[in-house]
Structure 1
Amino acid sequence: MIQHNELVVDNFAGGGGASTGIAMGLNCHVDIAINHDPAAIDMHKVNHPETKHYCESVWDVDPIEACNGRPVGLAWFSPDCKHFSKAKGGTPVDKNIRGLAWVAVRWAALVPVRVFMLENVEEFLTWGPVVEVTPGKFKPCKERKGETFNAFLKVLTTGLPLSHPAWPEIKAALGDDFPHYDRLVTGLGYKIDYKVLSACDYGIPTIRKRLFLVARNDGMPISWPAKSHGPNLKPYKTAADIIDWSIPVKSIFNRKRPLAENTMKRIAKGLERFVLNSESPFLVPDECNVPFITEHANSSSQRNMPADEPLRTICAQVKGGHFALVSSHIIKLRGDNLGHATNEPVHTISAGGFHLGEVRAFLVEYYGTGNAHRCDKPLHTITTKDRFGIVTVKGEHYQIIDIGMRMLEPHELFAAQGFPSDYIISHDSAGNKITKASQVARCGNSVCPSLAKALVEANFKEAVRVAA
């Protein structure tokens, strides 16, 4: 439990994912939040007005001054992970950003911190020295993987010998005026455990996988939350749970600005995998309000038709009166990944921009005639002679008459991360609209609130702030 006089601190607070989960798990607000990014700290401020905010580098905040004589019951650290992530590939890394985790040691040495939690990508376990490959450009040393991570654990637990090669990096991070190097040699006395957890195992509709480290010095055991979703448990939450079906999709054909060829190829391959060749393609639920179908038989007199009403006559062989089916899958515009089915958890969301979209294929009953409806620009890998493709749904044949695609909106991405539906992401503290790019950046950098909540509840059994 959090004692009456103890503080709760969120370093690298971002838009407020960890703070939201901590607040839910402890039933009290976070006292201090720190982040150097004005946009991130502003979103945090809008959603966590009770918190004291520092819009500064974590190195510029003095823990002693910030705590003002009070101990810390829980400190959360989510240092920048992009210079550890495998997504960075062969790109040179910034050794200063890789060293941000040393701020946890700074807090633990300067003020009483009873429990702290750290979140990062799983590659954080390989944290080691870097080598200079060109002037000012550094890459991790393959032969010394994990060396710095092990030193990090040693200074927090039983101590790090002065002969260890990590000391120059530690001193570069903590500075010449750090007063407790002797304590790092003997160790700060924490008990530490760490695990890689997948968000989807805890009822969050994303596969996001992260390393979590828990340290405590109060003699209490470190606990891990039990999985709630997965095989033999509750079904995973999926992309279908967060998609706003009321948002229209624009046809991929006849656009003023045509889609890129690679995007069209991704759509084609995705339709082949998740619709045409799938034994059970995901169909949009009947109760969802899918807005319309766009006709492309004649671009000069194009018609839009509600998808939840009988189709208008589109050719002599497909008469009005047949209802449409709508299939859906998720497209991923990154690397060589095609995406995934809509009834699977959303792939990991990044801060770099929009890369997840939804593709809908509109289907009508197929009668096997030679005059099936066609578009003027068919996808060659999908079409068969004069039709898009045939989909078998519960033994019945359907043909695709149009394909639509849109990128997922920020509120859908925040929902995929497990944020509450009333979390404010659209406007800043002054009432100004936040751009979609800025919203997505806050989302991709965020901690999944529900996972932070589960970790806090597991380690603070009586999750309330009580009188000392």
Structure 2
Amino acid sequence: MIRDQFLLGMDNEIIVDLFAGGGGMSTAIEQALGRHSDVSVNHDEDAVSMHTANHPQTEHYRADVFEVCPYEATRGRAIGLLHLSPDCTHHSQAAGGQPRDRKIRALAWVGLRWAGMGKRRAPGRQPRVITLENVKQILQWGRLIAKRCKHTGRVMKLDGTVAAKGERVPVQEQYLVPDPKHAGRTWRRYVRELEALGHKVAWTTMISADHGDSTTRDRLALVTVWIRGEPWVIVDICLRMLTPRELYGCQGFPASYIIDRGHDGRVFSKSAQVRMVGNSVSPGPARALIWANCSDMAAWTLAELKQRERVAA
């Protein structure tokens, strides 16, 4: 919460933050515009509790994003900004050759549901600006195919076994991986659907460190090497795991951000804190993105704007 005093809900347009897990985008919105997100959605109970503790004026929905009705959530208000940060793990190259989940990869489609809400039932209420944050590999978003055994050419199953000769494996049991022949096909369709709704679509890549954040994370590991024909094992490389507070700091969150407890007093374990920062948006580049596209929605007073200009100089 960027101000100690609550703001009156007198804005002509509201801000919706879907997939509001760690709270990075909502923090960036407050830092850029001086106002809170009006509606936030996440399925995780702890994530919603932490978000509520830090953004108490936001109306929270703890539900699957596809279960929230845009018409009911907006209650007749026009959307100035709709932001989406769908799960990136099943698009990221960090997943390597691990199986991918089609449903998780398709989460971004919920944005079309909100983007098209004014087409028929609620003219004038559709989002004026839509932003989406993800790994750059989402540009390769395409269909999935079953992984094949290199030796037999048969379908691989999720349990690591190979299908028997002539066996038909249900798709939910297949080891699915991206189809390189159709890389980017679904992404291009996604863009066309947004353009069909009247949006001009553009994207770029942003590096957190260029906007004042740092996402470097040290890891302790056993490293085995060979020196002059003999095996050596390095058991201590003088690095340590960062604490949750340090991780949030590297991600760009303010030191005042509440990470150890929820709005109802529940205490978060260190593993829960690390999990939620791992799902968060880095506020630095998000702040620059929001200011560049939505500065007309800012709620800063003249004195606050002058102070921001002095700090920036």
**TM bracket, shorter-chain basis:** 0.7 to 0.9
1:149 aligns with 2:187: yes
1:381 to partner: Cα distance: 7.7
1:429 aligns with 2:279: no
Unmatched 5+ stretches in structure 2 = 1-9, 119-125, 148-156, 158-168, 301-313
Answer whether contact 2:18 2:65 (CA < 8 A) is retained. Answer: yes
Answer whether contact 2:49 2:264 (CA < 8 A) is retained. Answer: no
Change (3 A) 1:64 1:403: closer
Change (3 A) 1:52 1:90: same
Other structure's SS at 1:406 match: coil
- Whole-Å separation in 2 of the counterparts to 1:20 and 1:422: 11
Change (3 A) 1:438 1:129: same
1:452 to partner: Cα distance: 1.3
Q: Which of 417, 420, 425 is the equivalent residue of 2:254?
A: 420
Other structure's SS at 2:116 match: helix
Q: Which residue of 1 aligns with 2:22?
A: 15
1:432 to partner: Cα distance: 3.1
Read off the aligned partner of 1:263 and give its amino acid letter: L
Q: Which residue of 1 aligns with 2:202?
A: 193
1:147 to partner: Cα distance: 0.5
1:52 to partner: Cα distance: 0.2
Unmatched 5+ stretches in structure 1 = 158-186, 208-238, 244-259, 270-378, 383-401
- Whole-Å separation in 2 of the counterparts to 1:381 and 1:90: 27
Change (3 A) 1:404 1:154: closer
1:24 to partner: Cα distance: 1.1
- Whole-Å separation in 1 of the counterparts to 2:178 and 2:79: 34
1:31 to partner: Cα distance: 0.3
| Superposed CA RMSD | 2.7
Q: Which of 13, 21, 33 is the equivalent residue of 1:26?
A: 33
Q: Which residue of 2 aligns with 1:219?
A: none
Change (3 A) 1:150 1:35: same
Q: Which residue of 2 aligns with 1:336?
A: none
Read off the aligned partner of 1:74 and give its amino acid letter: L
Q: Which of 212, 215, 222 is the equivalent residue of 1:263?
A: 222
1:92 to partner: Cα distance: 1.4
Other structure's SS at 1:204 match: coil
Answer whether contact 1:17 1:419 (CA < 8 A) is retained. Answer: yes
Q: Which residue of 1 aligns with 2:293?
A: 459
- Whole-Å separation in 2 of the counterparts to 1:405 and 1:113: 46
> What does the per-residue CA deviation read over 1:318-347, in whole Å, with 9 as the maximum and x for residues that have no partner?
xxxxxxxxxxxxxxxxxxxxxxxxxxxxxx
Other structure's SS at 1:438 match: helix
> What does the per-residue CA deviation read over 1:280-309, in whole Å, with 9 as the maximum and x for residues that have no partner?
xxxxxxxxxxxxxxxxxxxxxxxxxxxxxx
Read off the aligned partner of 1:190 and give its amino acid letter: H
1:60 to partner: Cα distance: 0.2
Q: Which residue of 2 aligns with 1:109?
A: 116
Read off the aligned partner of 1:142 and give its amino acid letter: P
Change (3 A) 1:92 1:403: closer
Q: Which residue of 2 aligns with 1:99?
A: 106
| Percent identity over paired residues | 42
Change (3 A) 1:91 1:403: closer
Read off the aligned partner of 2:268 and give its amino acid letter: I
Structure showing greater relative contact order (alpha-carbon pairs closer than 8 Å, 6 or more residues apart): 2
- Whole-Å separation in 1 of the counterparts to 2:144 and 2:214: 36
Change (3 A) 1:403 1:131: closer
Read off the aligned partner of 1:189 and give its amino acid letter: G
Answer whether contact 1:25 1:463 (CA < 8 A) is retained. Answer: no
* Aligned residue pair count: 256
Query: Where does 1:352-367 land on structure 2 (aligned, <5 Å)?
Result: none
Higher strand share: 1
> What does the per-residue CA deviation read over 1:168-218, in whole Å, with 9 as the maximum and x for residues that have no partner?
xxxxxxxxxxxxxxxxxxx101001101111011111226xxxxxxxxxxx
